Structure 1
Amino acid sequence: MSAPSSSCDLVVIGSGLGGLSCAGLAALHGLDVVVLEAHDRAGGAAHGFERRGFQFESGPSLWSGLGRWPSSNPLAQVLRALGETVPVATYPDWGLLLPEGSLRIGVGPEPFIATVRELRGLAAAEEWSAFMTWLQPFSQAALALPLLALRPGLGMAAVLGVRRSARLARLAPQLAALGGAFGPMARRHLRDPFLLHWVDLLCFLISGLPMDQTSAAAMATLFADWFDPGACLEYPLGGSPAVVAALVRGLERHGGALHTSCPVAEIILEGGAARGVRLGDGQLIRARRGVVSNASPWDTLALLPPGSGHSRWRQQRAATPACASFLHLHMGLRGEGLQDLPVHHVWVGDWERGIGAERNMLVLSMPSLLDPSLAPQGQQVLHGYTPANEPWELWQNLEPGTEAYEQLKRERCAIFRQVLGGIIPDLEERVVIELHGTPRSHQRFLRVHQGSYGPALGADQGVFPSGSTPIEGLSLCGAGVFPGIGVPPVAVSGAMAAHGFVAIPQHRALLESLDLLRP
C-alpha cells in the first residue's frame, strides 16, 4: 500500500464503524479524506481474522435492519448513501439461558407474549402488551427523527425543512420524554420481575449499561424494530468484516483513502486549531479542514500536545467513566448434529447480582449455521463474549505471556465452557481450535484505554455529547462518544462528525436522496 498523502481535507483517526461512516460520507460530499488505522486491518472492534480455515470476528453479533430498505438503522442508511449493500441471512429466534430456564424466543410481538404467558401467566402477558401499546407513540416519535439529520450546532432544523420540523414539533412531548433513560419509563408500567429483568437485559446488550442509564430513544427505536410483526434478526454474510469491507469500498469509490499500520502519534494544532497529524514514523499529514478522532476520549487526549489549552474540557474528558472490558472466546468445532441449535444464545447467571455484574452474562454466536463459508466443511465457528462486564483492574498489572496472566485467563475464561457444556454436552470431543481474549488483548489490538469499548455515558446524566470539541477543527466519533457495543449510535456519531464539515444544503440533499425527509 502506498504511503499516505502529505495533505488532504480531512484526517480520520481510526477505522472503526464510526470512523468509516464519517470518512465515507465526508468523501461522498466531495472532501479529500484520509483514514489512518494503527492495526494491520480495518474495522476497529469489528475486525475479523482467520485461523486454520475458521473465520473469526471480534465485532457485533446481533444485527437487525441492515438488509432491508427502507430501514431505520443508521448504518444501513450510511451504506445506501455510499452505494453499498451487504447481503444478510435472516433468522427468527434466539436462545436464552436464564435463571427461569432454557428458552427459545422468536423476535416479534406474538412469540414473546406467548413465552411470557407460559412462563409468568396471563397477567404478566397482559402487562407487557399494555406496555408495548403505551410505548408505541414514543417509538413512532423516535422513528420520525431521521438520525442522519443530526449535525453539530443549530443547523438541524434547516436540514429537516419546514414540514418535517413542524411534524417533530407536534411530537415534542414524546421526544422530550425520550431524552432521558429508559429505566423510569419501564418501571412506571412494568411490575413483573421477569419483564423488568428482560428490559434490563436488552438495554445492556445494546448499550453496555443497565436500563436506568440506557437511552430511552435507543430503546424505543429497538422495540419499534424488534417487535414489529415482520421483525427478524439478521447476520451479514461474511460477518462484521463484510460490513467493514463495504464501508471501505464506499469510501474508496468516492475518492477517500484508507491506510492501515499507520498509528497516529500526535494531533497537530496550529493557532489552536487541528490542522493535521504526525504519524509514528514522523510523517506529517496536513488537514485543510480538520481531524476526526474515532479513538476513545482518553486515547484522543493522549494525542494532543501538552499545554495546548482547554484544561477544563481535558479534565472532564479524562474523567469520563469507561465501560468495563470483555472476555472473548473464539472456537472452531466439529459440526455434526449442531444444525438445530439457535444461532445465538444469551446466558444470564443470576438476576439478583445485577445485569452488569462481572461474568454474569455471556453472548454466544454460531454464525456458520447461517454462513457455512466461515468454517471448513462440516465444521462450525463459535464466538462468545462477556459484554462489558470484565473489570480492567484484574488485568492491569499482568503482562501477557506470564504464568500469572495465563493462569488468570484460564480461570476467568472457564465460564465459557461451563455454559457451553449445557448446550453442547460433547463439547470436548468437538473442539478443533480454541482462542481466548482478555482486556489486555483489547488494549493491544485495538490500542484502547484499559481495553474498554468506550465511554460509559449514562442517559440519566443528560444529553449525549455530540462529538464536538472546543478545539477548532477537531471532532470525535465512534468510541470517542459512544461505547462500541451499539452499532446504530456509533454510525450516527460518524455521520454527525462528517456533517460538521459539510454545508447544510449538501447535508439536506443527502437526506432527500435517501427519502428520509418525507413528511
Structure 2
Amino acid sequence: IFEGLDKPSLNPLRMLIDALDETLPVETYDGLGFWTPLPTTTDDKDKRTFWRFQVGNAEAQGGFYKTLREHATDGELAIKQWEELRARLKTLGGSTMAVSLLNLRQDAGFLASTAGSLPFVATHPDVFADLPLTFDSLHKTVDQIVTEPFLRNFIDLMCIFCGFPAKGAMTAHLLYVLERFFEPECAYSVPLGGTENIAKALQRGGEKYGMKLQLNAHVDEILTDPNQQHRAVGVRLRNGKIIKAKKAVVSNATPFDTAKLLGKKNRPVQNDVSPHIEKEEHYPKNVQSWVDTLGSLPRHGAILHLFVAIDANKKVNGKTLNDHPGWAQVCGSEPDGKPTPAHLVVQSWNRSLQDSQNLCSFFIPSILDPSVCPQGKHTIHVYSSGGEPYETWQNLEPGSAEYEAYKEERANVLWRALEDTCIPDVRQRAEFYIIGSPKAHEAFLRRDRGTYGMAWAAGTSAPYAGLLQFTPIPFPFPNLKTPVPALVRCGDSCFPGIGTPSAAASGAIAANTLHSLDQHIDMLENTSKKNPIYNFLSPGLFQWLYRPLVSSFTPTPEFRPSIAGDEAALAKQSLEEGASTTSTS
C-alpha cells in the first residue's frame, strides 16, 4: 500500500526518486477497503461489514466523515473527537512540512541541513514541548481524546503497519495520516508492472552516480580490523570473495542479522573439538556488549503470505467472478463504486491486531494494472500481520509432509479472508498458489527467524539510542551510527521505522551522514528546485548561521577513507584464508 508516489509529495520514497531524476509510472486509487466486525460484535462473520476509508477531503462525497456517520456507534461524536485529535497534534503535524527526513544526518552538520525549519520553530515555539510526544506511544494522546469505539479501532488499524496498534506506535506514524491523507489531491498508488519497478527506479538512479548493484552476492561476514580499533573494512561473501570498503560498511539487515554477521569470526566461540580453545580475536567490551544487545532486542513475529492466480471467467456453480456481490465492491462495478485493490480483514476486535490469525490484508493489483497477468485472470497477494510465531515452525523441515501440512493449516485464514469477503469460490478458481512461511521469510529475505522487524514499543528509549537517550525524548530506535567505527545501520529497524518509505528514508539519512555537509546541501538545494512542494528541503539563508562552523567536521573522521590501512588488513586476511578480493565502485 503506497501513498504519494504518483507525483511529487512528502513521501520520502517519492522524494528520493525525484532527487535521482527517475520516473515511476503508477495507477492511482482513492481508498482502502475494510471488512471488520461491527464495533459492538466480536467475530461473527455474518455481522462483518464492509467500509471504505477514502482519502482526500473528509467532507467530500464518500469521504471519511460519511464513513464515520454510517459505521461509528455515534457518528457526530466520532467526527468531533477526530477533529480534537487533529487539533491537538496540529503543530507537530505542521512540522512535517518544516523539515524533511532527507534533511537529517547524524553529526553536527544537521544544524545547517535542517536550518530551513527555524522560521517554523520561531512561529510555533510550542513544538518544543510536543517534541517528546512525536516519539512517544500514540495511545497516550488517543486515550485522552477518543472514546468512540469505531474511531479507536480505525486508529489502531492505521498504525498496525508499523507493527503495533496505537499502544506501541510512535505518534509520528499518525501525523502523516492526519496531515497528508486529507489533502484533496491525496491518492494511493499501484506501481505499473509490479512493485519491483520501485527497486528498478532506485537502481537506475543510483547507477547514474556510480552505484554498482550485485545480485547473488550473499554477505557472510562483516570484516573488522583489530589494528584500526576494529574498524569495519569490508565484507566477505558466501563464495569467499572479499569486498573492500572505501569509506564505510552500511548494513540494512535487521539488528539480529547484523549481530550475526559481526559475530562470525570476532566473538569468542568454543569449538567442539577443543572446547578449551577460543578464537583469538575479540571485540573490545563496549563493542561486544553492543553486538550482544543488538542480537537480543525484542522482535516481531513473521508474516504469512499467500500468492494466488485465479480465473475470473471460470464458472463455479454457474457463476463467474463478476456475479459475486463482494467482488463488485472490490472492482468498483456497483453504482458509484470505485476500484479498491487494497483491503484489510479483521476476524475479531477481541483479539490482538498483531495476531497473524486475526488480521489479514489482501491486494489485487490486476484490478488497476491488467499487465501483471493474462486477460481474464487476476493475481492476489494475501498476507497476515507480522505476528506469526516462529517457534512452531523452527523444527519443521521445508519440503517435508509435516511442513507442507502446517503451511496449509496456518494459511487457511488467508484463504478465508477472500472467501468471507469477495471471492467465496477462490479455491475453485485458483490456477496457481504458493504459501510463504516464516521459514521462507528467513531464507529468501535473510531475516533472522523470519521476523517482520524490531519490536521496541514506543514510550521508552531503545538501547544505544545515541544522544537522544540522555534527553526526555523516548527514542525507540538504536542509533544508525555504531560502536564499530565505519559501520552504519539503516533499514526498517532504524528510525523512522517499518515500511518501504521509512526504510528508504533511513538509507538517505545514512548516506547523508557518510558525505560532507556541502554535498548533502547541494542535493537538498537541487531537489528543492524540482517542484514547489520541495521548497522546504532547502536549508535557506539560515544555514549560514551554522554551515561555516560545522562543515569542516563532516563527515566525521571515521567516514573519511583510509584505504592503505584497510587494504593491508584485507590483504592479510585474504592470504591467510585464501579468499579473493574485489574493490567496490
Partner of 2:385: 387
Secondary structure of the corresponding residue to residue 259 of structure 1: coil
Q: Which residue of 97, 100, 113 maps to 2:65?
A: 113
Partner of 2:131: 175
Deviation, 1:313, is: 0.9
What per-residue deviation string (whole Å, max 9, x for no partner) do you get for residues 457-482 of structure 1?
A: 22212212331101110001114526
The residue identity in structure 2 corresponding to 1:399 is E
CA distance in 2, matches of 1:335, 1:303: 46
Give the aligned CA root-mean-square deviation in angstroms.
1.8
Q: Which residue of 266, 278, 301 maps to 2:236?
A: 278
CA contact (8 A) 1:275 1:291 kept: yes
Partner of 1:209: 164
Partner of 1:9: none
CA distance in 2, matches of 1:85, 1:264: 30
CA distance in 1, matches of 2:237, 2:417: 44
Q: Which residue of 25, 34, 38 maps to 1:96?
A: 34
Aligned 1:38-53 pairs, distance under 5 A: none
Q: Which residue of 506, 521, 546 maps to 1:493?
A: 506
The residue identity in structure 1 corresponding to 2:304 is L
Partner of 1:346: 344
Deviation, 1:84, is: 0.9
CA distance in 1, matches of 2:386, 2:174: 18
1:296 and 2:254 matched:
yes
Aligned 1:19-418 pairs, distance under 5 A: 62-69=1-8, 71-100=9-38, 101-108=49-56, 109-110=58-59, 111-120=63-72, 121=74, 122-161=76-115, 163-168=116-121, 170=125, 171-205=127-161, 207-270=162-225, 271=228, 272-304=230-262, 305-306=266-267, 307-309=282-284, 310-336=287-313, 337=322, 338=327, 339-340=331-332, 342-418=340-416
The residue identity in structure 2 corresponding to 1:313 is W
Gaps of 5+ in 1: 1-61
Deviation, 1:358, is: 3.1
Q: Which structure is higher in RCO with an 8 Å CA cutoff and minimum separation 6?
A: 1
> Residues 414 and 484 from structure 1, CA distance in 2 versus in 1: closer, same or farther, beyond 3 angstroms?
farther
Q: Which residue of 520, 527, 543 maps to 1:507?
A: 520
CA distance in 2, matches of 1:443, 1:262: 17
> Residues 201 and 406 from structure 1, CA distance in 2 versus in 1: closer, same or farther, beyond 3 angstroms?
same
Deviation, 1:436, is: 0.7
Partner of 1:425: 424
> Residues 95 and 480 from structure 1, CA distance in 2 versus in 1: closer, same or farther, beyond 3 angstroms?
closer
TM-score by length of 2: 0.75
What per-residue deviation string (whole Å, max 9, x for no partner) do you get for residues 34-77 of structure 1?
A: xxxxxxxxxxxxxxxxxxxxxxxxxxxx10011211x1111111
CA contact (8 A) 1:335 1:379 kept: yes
Q: Which moved more, 1:173-182 or 1:235-244?
A: 173-182
Deviation, 1:368, is: 0.7
Q: Which moved more, 1:212-221 or 1:336-345?
A: 336-345
The residue identity in structure 2 corresponding to 1:204 is I
Partner of 1:517: 538
* Higher fraction of strand: 1
What per-residue deviation string (whole Å, max 9, x for no partner) do you get for residues 86-126 of structure 1?
A: 11111112211101122133123231111111222322222
TM-score by length of 1: 0.84
CA distance in 2, matches of 1:484, 1:214: 10
Q: Which moved more, 1:241-250 or 1:79-88?
A: 79-88
Gaps of 5+ in 2: 39-48, 268-281, 314-321, 333-338, 461-473, 529-536, 541-585
Q: Which moved more, 1:219-228 or 1:477-486?
A: 477-486
Secondary structure of the corresponding residue to residue 465 of structure 1: coil
Deviation, 1:367, is: 0.5
Deviation, 1:166, is: 4.6
What per-residue deviation string (whole Å, max 9, x for no partner) do you get for residues 144-198 of structure 1?
A: 221111111332111123x533533533234342131211111111011221111
